[in-house]
A and B are shown apart, each in its own frame.
Chain A
Amino acid sequence: MTALFEVHGLTRVYTTGRRSVVALEDVSLTVEPGQRLGIVGESGSGKSTLVRLMAGLDRPTSGTVHFGGRPVSGVPERQLGFLRASVQFVFQDPRSSLNPRMRVGDVVAEPLRSPLVRRELGALDQRRRVAEVLDAVGLPADAASRYPHEFSGGQRQRIAIARALAPSPQVLIADEAVSALDVSVRAHVLNLLMALVDDLGLTLLFVSHDLAVVRHVCPDAVVLQGGRIVERGPTQRLFTAPEHPYTARLVAAIPTFRARS
């Protein structure tokens, strides 16, 4: 089986004026088709930088990213059509990731209007595709003609998922996609995500600070600290027998239920 993503020696240094910050340092990993990989870390660990580089939204200072055997880093945008259609994001806060002035149907069709993606997908009935993906995320067909603010937080995250699904991607990158949601809404959105990943055979990169959620969703995970991968392996093992002291600290810090009197 060939890897879907191959990341090698990836480093990203941000420089402003005289100061430079190493956001990511010498990260290597592979992602197999159909894998659900958790990317775990606290703020500033480099997890968002990593997935942005993998999706070709930013350029590495050094190192390489290959997707399906084709280079991503250092390739001009107009040649990244294969990636734009295949890799889609769901972000943390649907309030800021959905344009409030666009009707839901237009929001969801947005990735389909990119000329790069159109070239990749060929002729497509946009309205039909929008109806299909709204149905897939459990929203009524008439949602297309309404505006994002008419929906609850959980429904807005469904809209964001529908938009990500529109170009029939291979990979879904969920960047703290359930972190802003109430626990009960989180349950619905996670159930939906897991079902879609199963049904559509998607590959999932699940970025989260919440190790308990990652354990539930992803069989495997990498743990990032200060821009480096400090540990990787089956999520269950990271929980029960962490090898790196930082992983152990992260696991120990998860609030657990305890009876107090």
Chain B
Amino acid sequence: MTSLLQVRDLSIAFGRKDPVVRGLDLDLAAGQRLGIIGESGSGKTVTALAIMGLLPDNARVTGSIRLDGTELVGLSDRALSRVRGDRMSMIFQEPMTALDPTMTAGRQVAEAFRLHRDRDAGRARTAVLAMLRAVGFDDAERVADSYPHQLSGGQRQRVVTAMALVNRPGLVICDEPTTALDVTVQATVLRVLDEVLEAVGASCLFISHDLAVVSQLCSDVVVMLNGRVVERGTAEQVFTDPRHPYAAGLVATARLDLLEPGTRLPTVADHVRVP
């Protein structure tokens, strides 16, 4: 199986500080979905931003990130911006960080399309409406003509999903895409994401602190701790038979459903001493 995304010995440091990601290796095949779990500060988001080329200037990145054969580390901003939005895209936790409040939803999805695909406005409109329908809007025209503030949080995140997938990228990176949403809205957004990733055949790097959500969307999982991968395997293996004690602790703390109500919750410290 050839990798769509191949990350080798990736290290990331800011300024003169110690690295926050060290010697990271990742492989993602076409169509594969890999969940990255770990606590805040474990390096999940920084890794995602490094792949997208969105780290600030004071970040020092070493190692290699290859997307379909193209080396991304050291690539110029111009070349990177051609790859971004076309061959890979990202969905963030807060949809308003990705949306321009002064532009209709339809125009924003169209811009993503026209920048990379087809400058013709009519054809862009057709593609935009089709994409909005794909993310579950029956009233795609009305949504396309709405401004972000006229949409709910869940609807905005579906618009962002449409933007991220309209160019049928090979790789979609999701960073806590449903964390800010209500649980019933989250269920809808996850279902939509699952469907469009499948339809487009995109690979996905899915970052979340919610292990149950990861288990629903991803076939494979890596567990990060202090900038390193401490466990990797299929979702089934990691969630049912984790080998690394830290991964075992993390999984145990998340399985509220297996506990007698009112009893003491297991903690990571029961499994391993984390510095």
Besides A42-B182, A260-B217, 17 other A-B contacts (C-beta < 8 A): A42-B185, A183-B211, A184-B253, A184-B268, A187-B266, A187-B267, A191-B264, A216-B259, A219-B262, A236-B261, A249-B184, A250-B184, A255-B213, A255-B215, A260-B216, A261-B219, A261-B236
* A124 at the binding interface (Cβ < 8 Å): no
Tell me the smallest distance from the CB of A187 to a CB of chain B, in Å. Answer: 4
Partner of A255, one of B212, B234, B250, B266: B212
A222 to B159, CA, bound (A): 34
A183 to B212, CA, bound (A): 11
A193 to B185, CA, bound (A): 29
Q: Which residue of B lies closest to A215 (CB)?
A: B261
- In the complex, chain B residues whose CB is within 8 Å of the CB of A211: 183
- In the complex, chain B residues whose CB is within 8 Å of the CB of A260: 215-219, 235-236
Contacts A255-B212, A257-B255, A259-B240; A184 near B261 (Cβ below 8 A): no
A-B contact pairs, 17 of them (CB 8 A): A182-B39, A182-B40, A183-B209, A185-B39, A188-B269, A190-B265, A191-B265, A212-B256, A216-B256, A219-B261, A235-B261, A249-B184, A255-B186, A256-B216, A257-B212, A259-B235, A260-B235
* B210 at the binding interface (Cβ < 8 Å): yes
- In the complex, chain B residues whose CB is within 8 Å of the CB of A184: 39, 249-250, 253, 267-268
Tell me the smallest distance from the CB of B42 to a CB of chain A, in Å. Answer: 9
* A230 at the binding interface (Cβ < 8 Å): no
| Proximity bits, B113-146, A CB within 8 Å = 1, else 0 | 0000000000000000000000000000000000
What is the total number of residues of chain A having a CB less than 8 Å from a CB of chain B?
36
- In the complex, chain A residues whose CB is within 8 Å of the CB of B250: 183-184
Tell me the smallest distance from the CB of A103 to a CB of chain B, in Å. Answer: 25
Say yes or no: B186 contacts A253, CB within 8 Å.
yes
| Proximity bits, A49-85, B CB within 8 Å = 1, else 0 | 0000000000000000000000000000000000000
Say yes or no: A256 contacts B257, CB within 8 Å.
yes
* A153 at the binding interface (Cβ < 8 Å): yes
Say yes or no: A183 contacts B253, CB within 8 Å.
yes
- In the complex, chain B residues whose CB is within 8 Å of the CB of A209: 182-183
B-binding residues in A (CB < 8 A): 42-43, 153, 182-188, 190-191, 194, 209-213, 215-217, 219, 235-236, 249-250, 252-261
- In the complex, chain B residues whose CB is within 8 Å of the CB of A253: 183-184, 186-187
Tell me the smallest distance from the CB of B24 to a CB of chain A, in Å. Answer: 20
Say yes or no: B236 contacts A255, CB within 8 Å.
no
Contacts A182-B39, A209-B183; A255 near B210 (Cβ below 8 A): yes
Say yes or no: B257 contacts A259, CB within 8 Å.
no
Q: Which residue of B lies closest to A194 (CB)?
A: B262
A191 to B210, CA, bound (A): 19
Among A42, A213, A259, max chain B CB count under 10 A is at A259
Say yes or no: A42 contacts B183, CB within 8 Å.
yes
A42 to B154, CA, bound (A): 13
| Proximity bits, B187-200, A CB within 8 Å = 1, else 0 | 10010000000000
Partner of B40, one of A153, A190, A258, A259: A153
A93 to B98, CA, bound (A): 24
A259 to B249, CA, bound (A): 19
- In the complex, chain A residues whose CB is within 8 Å of the CB of B262: 194, 216-217, 219
Closest 6 CB pairs of A and B: A255-B212, A42-B182, A187-B265, A253-B187, A182-B39, A184-B268
- In the complex, chain A residues whose CB is within 8 Å of the CB of B218: 260
- In the complex, chain A residues whose CB is within 8 Å of the CB of B267: 184, 187-188, 191
Tell me the smallest distance from the CB of A230 to a CB of chain B, in Å. Answer: 13
A216 to B257, CA, bound (A): 9
Tell me the smallest distance from the CB of A246 to a CB of chain B, in Å. Answer: 9
Tell me the smallest distance from the CB of A78 to a CB of chain B, in Å. Answer: 39
